[in-house]
Structure 1
Amino acid sequence: MAQPVDKIHTATSWLGIRANICLISGLLLLMPTVVTGKQSTETLRQTVLKFLQVQTEKRAEQDIEISVGRIDRRLKLATCQESPMAFLAAGAKLQGKLTVGLRCTGPKPWTVYVPAHIKIFANVIAAAQPLLRGSEISATDVIFVRQELSQLRSGYFIKIESVIGKILTQNLSAGHAITPKRVKAAFLVRRGEKVTIEVSIGTLKVRGKGEALKDAARGELVSVRNSQSKRIIQGVVTKPGTVNIQM
């Protein structure tokens, strides 16, 4: 008579175990899924590229090239549940070489820095042929060349009229950009030319004639021989053919 009792007890135990298994399975389904695995480095590079494209979209009229460096594949970054947040360091310039940070704030947070390069190109004024220091630039001396602006730290010109008549302060090879540091203002007074001498005494101005003894641009000091007295005096070039002397 004891055997039926044992069978009933055993059956009841199995029913309890199965119920517990079902309960545990149900609870596991209700728990949030934790994504594991390795973050794709190519996905991170694309995130950086899109971030920089958005940051530079206000420069749509400019010729811009963006390149993103490679990320070390040996990095073991956990897959981010949400898109990593891209950011720039304070004061970072959107030109030349820079670094973009990517931050994941998921269950397994991480931060990684990705190198990038933003190249901004423009057609700038350059020497059409070798030009010598001291020569005056004419329209036939210049051409347009496409150059990356981050390489022209001392500036550049994009209009031909901005350089015509200016004087080179150094020798320049063909194809090299003409920059503000490589030129100075055009000569307004030429050596040997007749000039007007303006002598300023307070509000009074007395004019005379003289001969310039060297080439000079606006604001430069130049020696002049007075046509009447033959004395050599110095004054400042104020406009074409005019030298001012303050008394």
Structure 2
Amino acid sequence: MKKLKKLICVFFTCSLAFNLSAQVTQNIDSATIIREAEIFLKNQTKLLEENEGKVEITVNKLDPRLKLQACDQLVPFLTPGSKAWGKITIGVQCSTPKPWTIYLGANVKVSGGYFVTNKAVSMGQMLTEQDLVKIQGEISSLPPGTITDEKQAIGKTMLANYPAGVNLRKEMFKLIPVIQQGQSIKVSSSGNGFTVSNEATALNNAAEGQVAKAKTAGGQIISGIARVGGVIEVN
């Protein structure tokens, strides 16, 4: 009987040691989390790199004391309304086998060309190509709406006077409505391999890129982004 108890004890001790060892090996490597975050940010900034220039991504290291259980699939994400450049916070979430969420600091630098005034411009002046000059720099450190494509500025009317060398931003231009209240418009919604378009009536004036609201024939109120041609784009 004593030998049996000793064998049972040894068995459970070994079993416990094995389970503890398994738990240790089930902890996820912090490098894996950082790698997934970097891949996510690279995908988020792919168009920026193609259109603007160079993108540098740095994800902060995790506290080495932090232990997280291994995950079947990591899902990185940005909080709603967050941009994918500058100094940001990125989340990484796990659903199975044990749910957890962690947040990491990151810095995404986007370098490329943007436009400034080539000379002093006046309120009410319509910009031409001669009024602009393109310079290179870190776009991610500039204010939102910075002009990176001359087509976004040429033909636009200035709202105020500005000296030479000022960064051009969309907010500096007089906005011309592409959708007017009461106008019959189209509401366009697209997804993976499909596009749906419905008729509706605009409920407010909106310039291109602004939020517009419309009412469908069935009485449903829809919000989307105003586009040229009397179209509201719904994501």
TM-score w.r.t. the length of structure 1 is 0.46
TM-score w.r.t. the length of structure 2 is 0.48
